[in-house]
Structure 1
Amino acid sequence: MIGELVPGSVATEWRTDDSVPVALFPEEAAAVARAVEKRRQEFGTVRHCARLALGRLGVPEGPLPPGKRGAPRWPEGIAGSMTHCEGYRAAAVARTADVASLGIDAEPAEATLPDGVLPVISLPEERRHLDELAAGAPRMPWGRLLFSAKESVFKTWYPLTGQELDFEEAVIAFTPDGGDGAHAGTSTGAGTGAGTFTAELLVPGPVVDGTRRDGFTGRWLVRDGVVLTAIVLTR
């Protein structure tokens, strides 16, 4: 599914479980040596996805250990992003000659965020925006989409700046595809839909190819119980 949200210059791979055994490189194994089994499996599967995607770019297999803030250390000349949640693992990679940075995120398509989370990750104008969207498509997991989009913003921002970006330092707005772009779903499940989103940075943006980027644009998708967002900052 993640491939639907990115241009052809980006190679992707995804899995819905950890059924494929993965042999980790020593540097990778050391990073999760003290983790619980579930975490080690997710860690391995998402790197398996990344290695398959890198192979499509002609990049040989090698270790992808986590660096600062857990961001993967990609091979020279590669921009990439990984994500995993319950029922979904994915990786996306591209050559830095084509893509300055990218960020992907997956979240379970649960109707709401845990209590108290939305006020922490959002600004008042974003909450009003979500209320307006929910009036037209009440079964869409708009709160989860907002959280996922902000994660994709951070994953795009961080490799370019090496700095933190707080949740309140970017304003997200969603545009569904084709009118409301969202379907009601079942009486118990989330709706399905797709569209675009914009992220306006409220702090000075990164300079890419001599131009300051004051915001990012991305795409989103809700399907099969998963929320997906992706940003690709092309050259």
Structure 2
Amino acid sequence: MLEKILPTQVASYETFEDPAEATLFPEEEALICDSVDLRRREFTTGRYCARQALARIGYSVPQPVLQGVRGAPIWPRSVRGSITHCRGYRAAAVVKVSELASVGIDAEPNLPLPDGILEAVALPAEQVMVKELLTDAPEVRWDRLLFSAKESIYKTWYPLTRRPLEFEDAVIDFDPADGTFSARLLSHVRSAQEFPRKIAGRWITGNGLVVTAIALSSASGSSVDSGL
């Protein structure tokens, strides 16, 4: 699914199960030693996906992928990447910084958000958009897709700025016809030279999932289209 919405510069790997060969380095194991089984499986397979994706851009020797502030993965110095997982799906995407500035991916089940979550993550105009889209195209859970798109924005933003970004800091508009979305940072967000105020992303549905992705072409921040 990811390859359909990411540009060719980005290497990705996804799986719909937790393979037996997915294991952790001791340093990674220490990060989840007290976690419940579901979290352990998500983390372990997410790191497995990350290593598979890294191998596709030349990092053939497996290495630990630790985590930093706010749980963000720590990639090799010349790499930017993103990991996502939800029930029945784990994936990672990586790119060399010589190719692109940043990448963010997110996957969610194509199911309604729990009660009250849409109001917590969506601006009033977004809530209206979502309700209209759910009426016109109910096969896509646009509320969950909005949540996923905002997660992809954050995952693209944070490696460049090292600053938090809240759900209410960006407004999203979906194009239901061509699988794209646009996002605009609102005026109260402190500007970042490394990140544009307007970006574009892509989305796809399938296998009971909604998946979103954003790729930035340079530190000045123009978005990259996958060419679909």
- Whichever structure has more strand as a proportion of its residues is 1
Say how many residue pairs are matched.
215
2:207 aligned residue: 224
* Deviation (angstroms), 1:135: 2.6
* Deviation (angstroms), 1:91: 0.2
- What is the distance in 1 between the residues matched to 2:68 and 2:52? 21
1:192 aligned residue: none
- What is the distance in 1 between the residues matched to 2:192 and 2:100? 14
- Check if 1:14 corresponds to 2:14: yes
The aligned amino acid for 2:205 is V
User: RMSD in angstroms over aligned alpha carbons?
Assistant: 1.2
1:76 aligned residue: 77
8 A contact 1:157–1:206 mirrored in 2: no
| Cα shift readout 1:5-33 (whole Å, capped 9, x = no counterpart) | 10000000000011333221111000011
- Check if 1:133 corresponds to 2:117: no
- Check if 1:215 corresponds to 2:206: no
Residues 61/19 of structure 1: CA separation in 2 closer, same or farther (3 Å cut): closer
Give unmatched runs, 5+ long, in structure 1: 179-194
> Superposed, which structure 2 residues align to 1:1-235 within 5 Å?
1-59=1-59, 60-110=61-111, 112-178=112-178, 195-202=179-186, 203-208=189-194, 213-235=196-218
Query: What TM-score do the two structures reach when normalised by structure 2?
Result: 0.91
* Deviation (angstroms), 1:133: 1.6
* Deviation (angstroms), 1:39: 1.1
8 A contact 1:204–1:214 mirrored in 2: no
- What is the distance in 2 between the residues matched to 1:161 and 1:118? 26
Give unmatched runs, 5+ long, in structure 2: 219-228
Give structure 1 regions of 4+ aligned residues with deviation exceeding 4 angstroms.
Answer: none
8 A contact 1:20–1:45 mirrored in 2: no
SS at match of 2:101: strand
